[in-house]
Structure 1
C-alpha cells in the first residue's frame, strides 16, 4: 500500500487500526490496549514558569511508574466552527441589539479539545514504514497471536491507567471516555469531520505525495525531527510589545496557529539502560571500523558526551524515552492554502529552536499512525530525556470565559462572555484604571450597554459628555447639572413611608452629617469636625425629622430654621454648649446661610424631586459644574447618596453604579459612608465601579484604600508607560505574572479596531479583548470629531438611529471595514 498508485481511494474502515472498543478501552489489531481520557487543562496565561516546571515534574513522576514499552499520547485538536448567538426572537431585539448580534454571528472560531491516551502494547512495538497497520499486507497474519493473555492484560491496563489518573489528578484532571465516545473521537480524527458528533465515517482516503485527502479534506503531516539544543520549559506567547506572557514550550504550535490542525504527541517509555548500552556498542563498533584519525576523534568525542549524558541521567534518576511529535494541518480549500499552513508550522518549530520536516511519501502512513490510541505505530521519533519530552506537551487551553454576561472576546478574537456580576467573588465591586486614550469610553460604554440590555439598573456619574449618544440610543435619562440653573436637589428628601413620615436610617444621618460638615468646614481633611460636633449634628438632624409635621417636606432650609429656633430658645443643653464652646453656633449659621437662604438655596432645597424610580438607565453629567469649587464636591456627595437610595429602593434588582467622576472629591469624612455603601451593596445585588485615568488621583485620594479593599475586581486598560504600570501594580499588589499580562495588552485604534483589557477577579486574572462593531463604535466614541459628526447627523435625521446608520455607511466607505 505504501507505494500504491497515486489517487487510489482506500475505504476509511480499512485503515482503522482497532478491532474492538471494549469496557472503556480500545484494542488494536496488533494487540495494543488503549485507555482514553478527556483532559482538562489550565487556562492560558495562568501559569508562571515555576508552575510549568512543577507540572512537568509531576507528570514525569507519574510516568516513571508506567511499565516499559507503554505510551502516553496527547491529542490536541483545533477544529473550525462558527460562533452563534443565543437563540432569540429577532423581533424582540431593539435596533442596536440586532446590529450587535449580526456583527458576531457566524464569526469563524477554532474549538479546542485535548485528550490523553495511555497505550499498552503486546508483542509488537517497533514499527517501520512498511510494517504499520496502514501499509501491511491484509493477507499477511501476525507471526504471534497479538491477543494472547488479553483478559489479563486488560485488567492490568485498567489498573495502571487508574493509578496514573489518580496520581496526576491535582494538576491534570482526566475524565475517562466511554467506548462509544472514544470510537467517535477516532472516527472524527480519521475523517477530519468534527462537526458530526456521531463521528460517521464516509468517503475514503486518497494518498498523494504532497498530502493525504480524507472525505474531501486535505491534510499534511509535519514531524519533529530535531529538538532544541537547549530546551526550556516555557516560552513567551508573543502577545503585545513586551515579549508576551509565560506559556508552554510548544505554545507556538497550538492555538497560536490560526487554522485547523491536530497535534499528536507520543512519549514511549523504554529501557534506558538497554538503549544506552546499544548505543555504546554501536559507537564501539563504529570506532573499530574507523581508520581515519579525525573520524576516530569524532567518535571518541561522541562517546565521551554520551558517558557524561548517562551520568547526568543517573544523578537525576531520569530515563530516556522516545518522543514523537506530529502536526497535521488540514483544510477543505486549495493546496496552496494548505502549503501555507504547513509553512507556518515549520516556522513555528524553527521559532523555538526545533526542526520540523514536511512529510511526503509517508504522509498517509503517519496520518493514520497519529490517530488517537494508535501511537504504538508511530515510527518518527527521537530519543530524549523524559523531562524534556514532557516539556513538549501542552498544559494549557485557550480561555473560554463565562456561560453568560457581556460579550467580549479572548486574545484570538473569538467571542466569549465576561460576567461583570460574578457572585462567586467576595463582592461585585470593581476598580478600573486606564490612562487617556486607553479605551475607557469603549469598555465602559460596552459594559453600560450590555448590562442595561440584560435588564439591570445602571447609574453613571460622569463628566465630558462621553455617554450622551449611548444614552440617547438606549433611551436612558441623561441629566446635565449646571450652576447656571437650579440643580433642583434636596439631600434631605427621600421617599416617605406608608404613613407619610420621613424616617432616615443611620446611613442617611451619617451622610447628612458629612454633607453639612463639608458646607461648614470645606475640606474636612484640612478642617476636620470633632466627634462631639458630629454627634451633636446627628442628634439634631434626627430630632428635626422626628418633629417634622406630616405635610412638611424636609429640606436643608427647614433644618437650618429648626436649629436656629432651638438655639434661640436657649435651653439648658444649648447654654451648656455655648458656655463650653463645644459648638460654634454663630459661625455655623453664617457659613450655612448661603445654602439655606442665600445664593445656593435653590440648588439644595427642591420641594419635589424626580427619584428616577421608573428609569433603569441614568447618567449625571457634571462637566458644567466641575469648575465651581463650592458646588462640585457637594453635588458629588449628594449623587453618591442618591445612588445609595437607588440601592435601597430596588433590593432585588441587579444594579451597577459607575462612578467615573467626582470620587476623588470624597475625603476622610466620607470613608464611613463609602464603606457603609459597599457593605450595603453586597447585600443588595449592587456592583460599584470606581473609574479613573490618573495614577496621581489614586495616590492622593484619602479613600483609595477603602475603595481598593472593597473591590474584588481590578480592571486595567492599555498603558504604554512602564513606570505608570509599575505604580498601579504596586498599589494593587499585582504579582509578576499579572504584570506580564498587563504589559502585553494590545490596542488598535479607529473603526474596526480592538482593545485588550486586563481583568483580575480576586486571585485569577485574564486578558479580554473588546472589538466593537461600527454601530457600537458610534455610541461609545469619545473622539471629538466623531462625536460632532454623529451629533450633526442625528440632528439632521431627527433621531440617533438614522444618524448613526449614516455615519456607519460613510465610515465603511472610507475604511472598507
Structure 2
C-alpha cells in the first residue's frame, strides 16, 4: 500500500457556495480578514475595549459555532519595487491615480537622487509581514467535534448534507452582519473574503493554497510534497508546532495586556497586548491560531453539576475530591451569576523554517515567549498533523477534542493577538518612516489622510525636541519629502540646518555675511500688477522702516504712502528702462512725488516727506543698509518652491531683523493667497522666539489660524521646554492651532514632563509613548525614534534613511568640508559629491 496520497483526494473542502466555504463534512465557514491596530499602539484601556468588543460579538453566535482566528507572520526581504507593484494593482485602478511625479517622489516616473538612495538602502531589509484571518464555522449538526484520536485527514466521504435551507442561511448571515458591525465600529476592520482571494486565480495563490504550501513570497506556481515522517516537511520547509491544549498550561489569571518593561520608565508604564509576544513581536515564520467552540451552556453546566455531586459524594474518601467539588461549585456560581459563555478552547503556533536547526531555534524562541507570559509550552509531535489539518480554512470542525480545554469566552479572548504590523498609508505620500519593531518602511501622511478621516482639523504642526534628539534631521526629512511631492516650502532658520538640502534641490538660500549680505527686492513684481494685497504689504514695510514699534502713524501718513506707491508703479509703467527697487522708489519720492505733494499743497504736519526721506536714507544707494531692498538676483520668490531664510547673524539686529521678518511673512502670505491648489508650508525653527519679541506675534497667530484655508500648513520647531511653557504666543496661537504634535526624545525632561503633557494635552498613553522613545533601539541599526500624534491617533516611528540622505543633512564640519571639496571637483554637482563621499564611507567601514 502506497504511503502517498494525492492532496486533492483528501482535501476536506467541497465547494464555495453562497459566500460560504463548504466542507466535505457539511460544515459552512464564513471567511474574513481583520485589520488590527499596529504593534505598540494599544493602551491598557484600548486593549480592554477590543477584548470586550470581541466577547460581545462572538456571544451572538449560536452554540457549537467554531471561531478560528489565524495570524500569519511571514519573513520577507523588503523590496521597493514590490511595494510599487502592490500599490499599483491594489489602489491605482480602484482610485484612478496615475503614477506621475506629483504622486510622490518614491513612486514618480523619475524619483529624486535621495529617493533612489533610500530605495537602495531599504532594499532587501528583513521584515515580518502580517495578515489576520478569521474563520467562523457553523458545523453540520449531524456530527460532533472531531474525535479525540481520529482526523479527517484521510477521510473524503460525506457524513451529511450541507445545510442550505433558506431560513438557516438567513439566520447565519444576520448574525455575521451583526458581528461585522460591532467589530468595524470598534476599529477592528472586518472584511469578507471573496472566492478569488480564498481559492486563488490562474495568476495568484489563494489563501487556502498558501496555507497548504506554507505562505511565502516565492513566485507562483509552487508544487510541493507534504510529508509528516520522519521529518514534518512541506517542500524544503521544515515545520513544527507549539500548542496550548490543556488548562494546566494556562496561568491562574489571564490579562488583556501586560507591562512591557523595555519601554517603561519609573514615571510611566508601557502596555503591550497580552498575546502580542506570540505575534508581531516573535521574529520567525509562524501562524498563531486561536480557536474556540461555543458550548451549549445548559448542557455544559448540567454535566458539571453532575460531576460536582459525584465528587461531593466521594469527598469522605479524599480531601482532593472535596476541594474539586467546591471549586466546581464556585465556578458555576460565578458563571451563572455573571452570564459567562463557556467554550472549548485551543491555541497553537505553527512554525516553519529553511532548516531543522533554524526550526529548533524558532521553536525555542516561541516556547520562551510563551513561558514569559506564564504559559506552559507543549511541543506537538503526534498531534501536530491533525492540528495543522484542522487549521485549513473551512476545516475547523476537525479540531480534535483531546486538544481542547474548557474555559469561559472572556478568558479565551485574552489569548487573542490584538496587534499587528504598522499599516502604510493608502497613498505613498507624506514621508517614509520605519515601523518600530523591524524598521519596515511605511508611508505616514501627516496632512491629508488625517484630515479626510477627521482625526485633525488643520495641517499645522508643532515639533519639540531637545538638542541631540534628531529634531533637525527629522524636519529635514519631512521637508524634503513634502518638497518632492510639489509643496512650496519656506523655512526660517537660525542654525544652518537646511543649507545642505537647499543646495541639493537648488533652492534660494538667504543668509547674511559681510561679503554677501542678505538682500531682497519687495518692489519687483515680475510682470504682475500691483494688487491691493501687495500694496498693503509694501505700506506695512515702509511704515516699519519709518516709525519705531511704539510710534503711532497718522491716517494722513498712511494715505500719503499709499498714493506714493500708486504713483511710483504708474511711473514705472511709463518708464520701462527703470528697474523697480527701493533705490528707484526713493529717487521717485525725491522728484516726481515731491512735485505731486507740492502741487497739492500737502501740509508737512500731515505728511513730512523730508523726515520720511531722511529716516529711509540708510536703505538708499550709499547708505548703511543699501543692499537690503535692492536685490537683482533671486527675484522670482513666488514660483521658487524652496526658500530658506537663515537669520542667525541678524536675529539680534534692531533694524535688519524686523525688516527681514516682515519680508518673509509677506512672501509666504503672497504664496498662500496666489498659489491656488498648491500645498504651501512655512517652517519656523528657533527663530520664532526672536520673531515673537519683535512685534511679529500677530503674524504668527494669523498664520496658524488662517493657513489651513489656503491648503497650507505652518510648523514651529523648538527645543526648550521653558520656551513653550512661558511663551503666550506658543500657548495661545501655535499649540491650540496645531493638531499634529511631533515630539522627539524627551528623556532630559522626564522629571518635568507633566508640564509638557498638560500643555500639549497628551493622554497617559501618549505620555508613555513619548517617554519610551529610543529606550530599546536596535543596536545594529542607526536611527532615532519620533512620536507623532494626530488627534487621538498616535504612534512612534523610526527616522532611518540612507547614508546619502544623512550626508545631505549633516552638520559635522569634517563631512561638510569634504562635500564642498568634492563639489568643486565635480563642477558644482552636489549629487555626485554626496554619492562619492557615501561610497568612500562605505568602503572605509567595510575595510
TM bin (shorter chain): 0.7 to 0.9
Q: Offset of 1:43 from its aligned partner?
A: 4.3
Instruction: Map 1:283-302; keep pairs closer than 5 Å.
Output: 284-285=309-310, 296-302=318-324
1:78 aligns with 2:109: no
**Structure 2 stretches lacking a partner, 5+ long:** 86-105, 200-205, 573-577
1:458 match: secondary structure: strand
Q: Confirm whether residue 98 of structure 1 aligns to residue 125 of structure 2.
A: no
Query: What secondary structure, in the 3-state scheme, does the structure 2 residue paired with 1:604 have?
Result: coil
Alpha-carbon distance between aligned partners in 2 of 1:96 and 1:547, rounded to the nearest angstrom: 49
2:767 corresponds to 1:746: no
CA distance in 2 between counterparts of 1:536 and 1:712 reads 43
Q: 1:655 aligns with which of 680, 703, 718?
A: 680
CA contact (8 A) 2:819 2:833 kept: yes
Alpha-carbon offset, residue 771 of structure 1 = 1.0
For the residues of structure 1 that align with 2:147 and 2:707, how far apart are their CA atoms?
68
After superposition, the CA RMSD in angstroms is: 3.9
| 1:601 aligned onto 2:625 | yes
Partner residue, 2:744: 717
Is the contact made by 1:13 and 1:201 (CA closer than 8 Å) also made in structure 2? Answer: no
Residue 238 (structure 2) aligns with: 218
CA distance in 1, matches of 2:270, 2:796: 11
Contact 2:581 2:630 in 1 (8 A): no
Deviations, residues 233-263 of structure 1 (Å, cap 9, x unaligned): 2234566454874443211111111222112
Q: How does 1:220-369 map to 2 (within 5 A)?
A: 220-225=240-245, 226-236=249-259, 240=263, 242=265, 245-282=270-307, 284-285=309-310, 296-331=318-353, 333-369=354-390
Change (3 A) 1:536 1:773: farther
Question: What is the aligned partner in structure 1 of residue 129 from structure 2?
Answer: 111
1:808 to 818, 822, 838: 838
* Mapping 1:535-684, distance limit 5 Å: 538-548=558-568, 549-551=570-572, 553=580, 555=582, 594=618, 600-606=624-630, 608=632, 610-613=634-637, 615-648=640-673, 650-667=675-692, 669-678=695-704, 681-684=707-710
- Are the equivalent residues in 1 in contact too, given 2:279–2:420 (CA < 8 A)? no
Q: In the TM superposition, what is the alpha-carbon distance from 1:780 to its structure 2 partner?
A: 1.8
Matched, 1:692 2:692: no
**Contact between 1:221 and 1:358, CA under 8 Å: does it hold in 2?**
yes
Q: Quickly say closer, same or farther: Cα 1:556–1:231, change in 2 above 3 A.
A: farther
CA distance in 2, matches of 1:750, 1:587: 67
CA–CA separation in structure 2 for the residues paired with 1:520 and 1:560 = 20
Query: What is the CA–CA distance in structure 1 between the aligned matches of 2:109 and 2:370, rounded to whole Å?
Result: 50
Q: 2-side partners of 1:495 and 1:586: how far apart?
A: 27
Out of 418, 421, 432, which is 2:444 matched to? 418
TM-score (ref. length: structure 1): 0.85
1:759 to partner: Cα distance = 1.6
Residue 404 of structure 1 is aligned with which of 403, 418, 428? 428
Give the alignment partner of residue 798 of structure 2, picking from 760, 764, 769: 769
Corresponding position: 1:706 with 2:721: no
8 Å CA contact 1:322, 1:384 repeated in 2: yes
The answer on whether the counterparts of 1:326 and 1:370 sit within 8 Å (CA) in structure 2 is: no
User: 50-59 or 39-48: which moved more?
Assistant: 39-48
Q: Provide the rounded CA distance (Å) in 2 between the counterparts of 1:667 and 1:537.
A: 27
2: CA distance between counterparts of 1:630 and 1:22? 80
Q: Tell me by how many angstroms 1:456 deviates.
A: 3.3
SS in 2 for 1:437: coil
Change (3 A) 1:348 1:414: same
Which stretch of the first structure deviates more once superposed, 478-487 or 254-263? Answer: 478-487
Q: How far off is 1:95 after superposition?
A: 4.3
TM-score normalised to structure 2 length: 0.82
Q: Is the 8 A contact 1:469 1:800 kept in 2?
A: no
CA contact (8 A) 1:461 1:659 kept: yes
Distance 1:806 1:481 in 2: 30
**Aligned position for 2:161:** 147
Runs of 5+ unmatched residues, structure 1: 579-583
Whole-Å Cα distance in 2 between the matches of residues 458 and 598 of structure 1? 34
Indicate the residue corresponding to 1:126 in structure 2.
145
Using the TM superposition, give the Cα deviation of residue 598 of structure 1 relative to its aligned residue in structure 2, in angstroms. 8.6
Q: Distance in 1 between matches of 2:414 and 2:596?
A: 81
Shift of 1:461: 2.2
1:9-48 counterparts in 2 under 5 A? 10-45=5-40, 47-48=42-43
